[in-house]
Amino acid sequence: MGKQMVLSEAVHKRFGRLEVLQGIDLEVAPKEVMCLIGPSGSGKSTFLRCINHLEKIDAGRLWVDGELVGYRQQGDKLYELGDKEVCRKRSEIGMVFQRFNLFPHMSALENVIEAPVRVKGENEQVAVERGRAMLDRVGLADKIDAYPNQLSGGQQQRVAIARALAMQPKLMLFDEPTSALDPELVGDVLDVMRQLALDGMTMVVVTHEMGFAREVGDSLVFMDSGIIVEAGKPRDMLANPQHERTKLFLSKVL
Amino acid sequence: MNVAASGAGAAKIPPEAIKAIPVRHPWRWVSAVVVLAVFASVVYQIATAPRLKWDVVGEWLFHQSILNGVRVTVELTIIAMVIGVVLGALLAVMRLSANPVVSTVSWVYIWFFRGTPVLVQLFFWYNLQLVLPHISVGIPFTPAVWQADTLPLISPFLASILGLGLNEAAYMAEIVRAGIISVEQGQTEAAQALGMTRAQVMRRIVLPQAMRVIIPPTGNETISMLKTSSLAYITTVQELFRSQELIAAFNYRIVELLIVASVWYLSMTSVLTFGQYYLERYFARGSARQLPPTPLQRFRHILFQGHAPPPFPPADPLPVYPPRRDDSGQGM
Ligand SMILES: Nc1ncnc2c1ncn2[C@@H]1O[C@H](COP(=O)(O)OP(=O)(O)OP(=O)(O)O)[C@@H](O)[C@H]1O
Ligand SMILES: [Mg+2]
């Protein structure tokens, strides 16, 4: 448990009667880019949300950077973490959503500096400085004062990435970051993510972009109905899937 | 094939500005004349009503006791609305609370105060001392921490404030709640993922966006409160309506004094309407691509262009992007 960024052991999650995650075991090493694929409803989003405790897991154990998610262990007893502790841990994990979820009443720069200032209590000057640098990094230096509805989908998603990066997270979660984009805008977002991977960010990416998974991913995990069916090196798995379900899924998306 | 054909066709049309004779709208003129004629006749009859003494209206319009009444009406409106908004916001948050006791208490409050006429509530507070001569604060079944006689404590002014404010809170609660639930769930999620606490998410992300939905009906409530406050005259508080009534009671110029009161009510609601407009503009930031014109801009436009501007100007300085493709059913 020492050296993994994410460690998941037999993680279960239920919504009422529906068992959405039925024992997920996986490890993500620091600087690793793990791509998560699988059919709709297989529990990919739910698993990502468990990692930063937007959902509570029902069974199993989940660690991020060596610390239990949502709980503190003393002896063999588990204590639920208070709101403050949960928030602090979330602030160390960046998350990017399919539908961007930018704050529409704030400009791009305000979106980016909101959390550093309010959550980390960073000096506003410092936050603005870094906010500009982050927006520059995602290629939007000229859109600092634009409101989200004045930006294209691809630009919004890049602001959302800058917003997450401004918190200087140790782990980034991407939930289908390009699925809501028009095809010609997908490339810009993927370029930013590719650069982020080169810079050594640890990333868990739910995606349908097999090209990205093949080129950028260090590992590929195929999920179906709440379990991991197959995992391995992206190139091997995409070229030569072992399981029937993986073959079927890949034949549909490739 | 098709493209080539239409391309060739397009080439034949000379690229000049179109100079066509505009379509005439004779019925627009007819209807305008009819409406103006009816309006003018009504105004003329009232203005020249033989027994209506306009000089009496002028005489009382700025009389000290009327001005005092105006002041009390404004005070009642402001204080009742402040109570309404603050208590309403609290009730709305309570109503959305995960704690069933808290949300039920809020529900019962709203049920009760919306379900009884505000006139009844005003009478109730005014007559509270009939059933409750002393008011005490403390833990039930233990000696009171604080106690006072009801009668001097609940003055006519306080009775009016309580009647109007507590009633308003029930309506504001529903308005605020509608505003809060109008904000997309994804906003809360994104804010939480950044590490913001519940209170921060509410204050910094949800409420500012809810404002866009909350402000217009709150403006209407304030305008409505200005007029509803006249019901407080039954508590003997000397607001505008009671002030004019006291004067009319001895000089019998009933209609003239009603006109005096109406002029004041109208001017005050007009000012509020104007203020509401700018408030709405402010909170529309980031939701409309371009803000609608201000009343002043509209007026200028009508003056110089001869017709009203469209509510949202078509000229868009910013690029318009096609609507987002969103093919995930529920994309959580
Ligand atoms: N809050 C919730 N309450 C009830 N059921 C839920 C909730 N969130 C997700 N589910 C259900 O859990 C299952 C897995 O959902 P999840 O969003 O994790 O799937 P996914 O793999 O991300 O699918 P997609 O590719 O469509 O995004 C679905 O059947 C969904 O209906
Ligand atoms: Mg999903």
| Arithmetic mean of pLDDT, B155-169 | 95
d(CA B25, CA B48): 35
Q: Residue B7 pLDDT > 50, yes or no?
A: no
**Where do the structural domains in chain B lie, given as residue ranges?**
54-138+145-305
- Return averaged pLDDT per consecutive 10 residues of chain A, 254 residues in all: 85 95 96 96 96 94 94 90 93 96 96 96 95 94 94 95 96 96 92 95 95 95 95 94 94 84
A15-34 residues touching B, CB cutoff 8 A: none
pLDDT over 50 at B326, yes or no = no
* pLDDT score, position B293: 65
For the domain spanning B54-138+145-305, the CATH number is: 1.10.3720.10
What DSSP line would sit under B212-274, residue for residue?
A: HHHHHHHHHHHHHHHHHGGGGGGGT---HHHHHHHHHHHH--HHHHHHHHHHHHHHHHHHHHH
Q: In the predicted model, is pLDDT for residue B283 greater than 90?
A: no
Kindly provide the ipTM of the predicted complex, given to two decimals.
0.94
Nearest-CA distance from B332 to chain A in Å? 6
Q: Which of B35-39, B60-64, B183-187, B301-305 has the lowest mean pLDDT?
A: B301-305
Q: What is the pTM of this model?
A: 0.78
Q: Are B122 and B163 in contact (CB under 8 A)?
A: yes
* A164/B189 Cα distance (integer angstroms): 13
Indicate whether B1 pLDDT > 60.
no
Give me the residue from B195, B285, B321 closest to A88, CB to CB: B195
Quickly state the pLDDT bin for B14 (edges 50, 70, 90): low
| Burial of B306 (C-beta count, 10 Å sphere; 0-12/13-18/19+) | exposed
Site to substitute for ligand 1 among A40, A222, A253, most atoms within 8 A of C-beta: A40
Of A57-66, A122-131, B10-19, B197-206, where does mean pLDDT reach its minimum? B10-19
Distance, CA of B83 to CA of B6 (rounded, Å): 66
Q: Which residues line ligand 1 (CB under 6 A)?
A: A 15, 18, 20, 38, 40-46; B 328, 331-332
- Mean pLDDT in residue range B220-233: 95
Q: What is the pLDDT of residue B314?
A: 41
pLDDT tens for B56-70 read 999 999 999 999 999
Residues of B within 8 A of A103 (CB-CB) are: 187, 190-191, 205, 209
What pLDDT score was predicted for residue B297?
Answer: 73
- If you compute the radius of gyration of chain B from its CA atoms, what whole number of angstroms results? 28
At residue A126, the pLDDT reads: 95
HEC-encoded secondary structure of chain A: CCCCCEEEEEEEEEECCEEEEEEEEEEECCCCEEEEECCCCCCHHHHHHHHCCCCCCCEEEEEECCEECCEEEECCEEEECCHHHHHHHHCCEEEECCCCCCCCCCCHHHHHHHHHHHCCCCCHHHHHHHHHHHHHHCCCHHHCCCCHHHCCHHHHHHHHHHHHHCCCCCEEEEECCCCCCCHHHHHHHHHHHHHHHHCCCCEEEECCCHHHHHHHCCEEEEEECCEEEEEECHHHHHHCCCCHHHHHHHHHHC
Q: What is the pLDDT of residue B24?
A: 83
Q: Which of B180-189, B237-246, B295-304 has the lowest average pLDDT? A: B295-304
Average pLDDT over residues B159-181: 95
